Chain A
Amino acid sequence: MFMDDDFTDDAMSGVASTIQKLEDLLLVTVPRDLMDDQVLSLRREVVKHIRLYNSLWVLLDFSQVDICDSYFGRFIQSMANMVRLTGARVIISGLQDAVIETMVELGMTLPDVRAVLDLDEALAMSRTNGKVDADTSETELAELSFLDSSTFDFFEV
């Protein structure tokens, strides 16, 4: 994520263009170089687009990302928490092998976030489980109790 020196305003304005609708999915291509200020705007854009398209699933595509540090892990977690509060669910896909290895090494296993190998699988999953079923919703509600104000303060450093 930190490899290019292209963190100008252009990269900022490019955030919106990485969000596309695909059936019930909101496909978010996570940029390779995600800077602190972009994280905030990307999260806002995603929530805005969930409303716009009534999306049931948010697919975070990480295939562009080759470095995932704990900051990125917090991004995924906080994005999942925010999305959950809109009633939609987060799926992550396209994690590269080296990224998976370092995430596990860091202890970022993100138990609340579903992961799939690729876009095909994500689409299949959203078609099979179109609506979030009642059982899951109850589990989700129970999980909400873990959310406190600090959840939303992660990036305000």
Chain B
Amino acid sequence: MHKSVGIEGATRILVKRDADIVLVCQRARSLAADLKFSGNDQVALVIAISEIARNIILYAGEGEIFIKTVFDGDTPGICIVARDQGAGISDVSLALQDGYSTGGGLGVGLPGARRLMDEFEIDSKVGQGTTVAMIKWNR
């Protein structure tokens, strides 16, 4: 994971209802547009965030998402950190498999988000919660 990942200096958005997902996605998209991301990359970024945000609401009830601009040399990117204090994921590698879901979903959310972003890291402890950190670079 790139060294610039983190929540320092990031915009924090509480995620509790589906309207909050709209807000997070709007914020990320306008940031991506400012950084001249291509249309397809903007969509990929927004989908990845939407999947992660839905997971927060579905599995943890509520959580928070941090958005900020990061740089790798001259290359701008968007860093997203999603954090909740939910039940956590007992088997992270299983949750990252296509088609696996405990919530009646399609099982594409986490693995899909990982594919749509350039960098993706998930840290989860049962009983303590889950943190997902991811970056999309504008290369």
Are A102's CB and B43's CB within 8 A? yes
How far, in whole Å, are A70 and B101 apart by their CA atoms in the complex?
12
How far, in whole Å, are A102 and B45 apart by their CA atoms in the complex?
10
Task: Say yes or no: is A67 at the interface (Cβ < 8 Å to chain B).
Answer: yes
Number of chain A residues close to chain B: CB under 8 A:
30
* B107-128 at interface with A (beta carbon < 8 Å): 108-109, 111-112, 115-116
Which secondary structure characterizes the binding site on chain B?
helix
Given the interface pairs A3-B29, A67-B25, A71-B50, the reply to whether A105 lies near B104 with Cβ below 8 Å is: no
Task: Say yes or no: is A106 at the interface (Cβ < 8 Å to chain B).
Answer: yes
Q: Name the distance in Å between B125's Cβ and chain A's nearest Cβ.
A: 24
Are A71's CB and B104's CB within 8 A? no
- The contact of A7 among B19, B99, B109, by CB within 8 Å, is B19
- The contact of B109 among A5, A36, A67, A70, by CB within 8 Å, is A70
Given the interface pairs A5-B22, A36-B18, the reply to whether A67 lies near B106 with Cβ below 8 Å is: no
As a 0/1 sequence over residues 13 to 52 of chain B, the CB contacts with chain A under 8 angstroms (1 = contact) are 0000011011101100100000000011001101100110
- The contact of B43 among A5, A66, A108, by CB within 8 Å, is A66
Task: Say yes or no: is A153 at the interface (Cβ < 8 Å to chain B).
Answer: yes
- The contact of A102 among B26, B47, B99, B106, by CB within 8 Å, is B47
Q: Which residues of B contact A102 (CB under 8 A)?
A: 40, 43-44, 47, 116
* A36-76 at interface with B (beta carbon < 8 Å): 36, 66-71, 73-74
Q: Which residues of A contact B54 (CB under 8 A)?
A: 69-71
Q: Which residue of B lies closest to A6 (CB)?
A: B22
- Which of the candidate stretches A93-101, A115-123, A127-135 sits at the interface with the other chain? A93-101
Q: Which residues of B contact A2 (CB under 8 A)?
A: 21-22, 25-26, 46, 50
- The contact of A35 among B18, B106, B112, B115, by CB within 8 Å, is B18
Between A3, A71, A97, the greatest number of chain B beta carbons within 10 A of the residue's beta carbon is seen for A71
How far, in whole Å, are A80 and B38 apart by their CA atoms in the complex?
32
Q: Which residues of B contact A124 (CB under 8 A)?
A: none
Given the interface pairs A7-B22, A107-B98, the reply to whether A74 lies near B106 with Cβ below 8 Å is: yes
Task: Say yes or no: is A142 at the interface (Cβ < 8 Å to chain B).
Answer: no
As a 0/1 sequence over residues 1 to 15 of chain A, the CB contacts with chain B under 8 angstroms (1 = contact) are 011110100000000
Between A4, A98, A108, the greatest number of chain B beta carbons within 10 A of the residue's beta carbon is seen for A98
* 21 A-B pairs whose Cβ atoms sit less than 8 Å apart in the complex: A2-B50, A4-B22, A5-B22, A7-B22, A66-B43, A67-B25, A67-B46, A67-B50, A68-B47, A69-B47, A69-B51, A70-B106, A102-B40, A102-B44, A106-B108, A106-B115, A106-B116, A107-B111, A108-B108, A150-B104, A154-B104
| Residues in chain B within 8 A of chain A (CB atoms) | 18-19, 21-23, 25-26, 29, 39-40, 43-44, 46-47, 50-51, 54, 57-58, 98-99, 103-106, 108-109, 111-112, 115-116
